[in-house]
Amino acid sequence: MSAPAQLRLLARYGRLRRILLWSFVARIPLGAVTLSLFLGTRISTGSLEFAGWVSSAAVVGMAAGAPVQGRLLDAFPLPRVVAGFAAGQVLALAALAPAVTGDRRDWVVVALAFVQGASVPALSSCTRLVTKRSLPPEELGTAFALDSVLLEVVYLGGPALAAWAVTAVGVRPVLVAAALLTAVGTVQFLRAAGLPALTGTADDAPVGPGPESTDQPAPAAPGLFTAGSFVLGMALLAAPFGLIEVALTQRATEEGATLASVGTYLTIMGVGSVIGGLVHGALRWRGGVSVRFVLLALGLGAGLASVAVVSGPAPVGLAFALAGLCVAPLAALGFQILDLISPPGAWMQLQGWGSVANTAGHAVGLTVGGYVAAAQGSSAAFGLIAVAVPLAVALSLPALRTPARSRPAATVGAA
């Protein structure tokens, strides 16, 4: 896959352009709302711990709501389910906008944050499903890789945008803007999808990256322990993203800097992630996905953990840039490995648990980071990454050592 291949695909399929555009617009709040709630609550109450509870509730809500929404998408028409959840998120954001600016530790805000997270429409899985049923099989790998880069822009660019916007105009306008983006983007996505009767019930044919060799007979599918251990590893790899949001906020407080510095460093990492994702997809790799996964995970951990012992805009910015190069490729490889180890008939289920692991790990990082940063300072919170990432790699080893089952599928970023 290369950048020209992505451009050719967009030029050939106008409908795909519209689907990806409006899905991207509707998903911008995914990256912006959590940090906006954290920063807004931190500013209004002065409590780092309570801000962590509010933002963690939003992320936990996403993890709790995703399986429920997935079951509904299997049983009912996609537009009906997605529109219903989007309406719930818009209403929750509208209620949060005035509530989060209070100066008391009001636990109603925590409840509203949970509802907001639980009602996030599943546009990522819907985009993947609509794309799967709209393009020929040979085009799916490039389309999925392109959407993965866009999603990384959302998750890494969104927090940077949130940090700048909350600093400049306050949290209330940011949450109102998030509600508008969700509403407009979801409506236009459903119009672009053009499949009013589509449900999420799919055939058992796998979609996504295939094994690196299909010459050998298929080994038995990995057991529950292997898959569960890898999902836990994915959760631990997601925890650093919650940790850095809290640690950067605390570092700004310690140094007397503005919260805009949080957005600056997250932007640097986001740019690095996009570059890393495009380069990883364009190159032909000789090593297997397991080797790349381990190297990228350790590279991400080393880059982010190093901020515990360095200071100053240039060294910290360099650390975030280098760590960012690993983010998008690592995310793509994580779901690729889930594809390779998924048992027959459970591909969608295991992919869903991978998404839950990402959101739950982020929530744990926010919560634990809030306590550690408040008690021990920002360097201690950054230092936790040096523990979380190696443990994540250790938990992933059973899956990384499992041979992929033989089956034809589109290849993304693999030789």
- pLDDT for res 194: 72
pLDDT of 220 above 50: no
Sign of the four-CA dihedral 93, 94, 100, 106: negative
User: Between residues 394 and 18, which one has the greater pLDDT?
Assistant: 394
- CB-based contacts of 68, cutoff 8 Å, min separation 6: 118
CA distance 160 to 270: 8
Question: What are the C-alpha distances in Å from 351 to residues 331, 403, 411?
Answer: 12, 18, 16
pLDDT of 52 above 60: yes
Question: What are the C-alpha distances in Å from 208 to residues 20, 75, 103, 230, 415?
Answer: 17, 23, 47, 18, 14
At 68, is the pLDDT very low, low, confident or very high (cuts 50, 70, 90)? confident
Question: What are the C-alpha distances in Å from 386 to residues 17, 118, 129, 170, 300?
Answer: 40, 31, 37, 34, 10
- pLDDT for res 200: 47
At 403, is the pLDDT very low, low, confident or very high (cuts 50, 70, 90)? low
**What are the tokens at 306?**
């190093």
Region of residue 391 (phi > 0: left; psi between -120 and 50: alpha; otherwise: beta): alpha
- The pLDDT tens digits of the residues spanning 70-81 come to 778 767 788 888
Region of residue 377 (phi > 0: left; psi between -120 and 50: alpha; otherwise: beta): left
pLDDT of 408 above 50: no
At 321, is the pLDDT very low, low, confident or very high (cuts 50, 70, 90)? very high
Average pLDDT over residues 135-145: 68
Region of residue 208 (phi > 0: left; psi between -120 and 50: alpha; otherwise: beta): left
Q: What is the mean pLDDT of the chain?
A: 79
pTM above 0.75, yes or no: no
Q: Which residue has the tokens 């998924």?
A: 342
Find the range with the poorest average confidence among 59-63, 109-113, 282-286, 405-409: 405-409
The answer to whether the CB of 31 falls within 8 A of the CB of 155 is yes
- pLDDT for res 380: 93
Which of these, 143, 112, 151, 47, lies nearest to 359 by C-alpha position? Answer: 151
- CB-based contacts of 361, cutoff 8 Å, min separation 6: 234, 235, 236, 237, 238, 239, 241, 242
Average pLDDT over residues 324-343: 80
Q: Determine how many CB atoms are found less than 10 A away from the CB of residue 232.
A: 17
Report which residue type is found at 375. Answer: A
Torsion over CA of 364, 365, 370 and 375, rounded to 10 degrees?
100
CA atoms within 13 A on the CB side of 229: 17
- The pLDDT tens digits of the residues spanning 351-392 come to 667 777 887 888 788 889 888 988 899 999 999 999 999 999
Report which residue type is found at 365. Answer: G
CA distance 289 to 333: 7
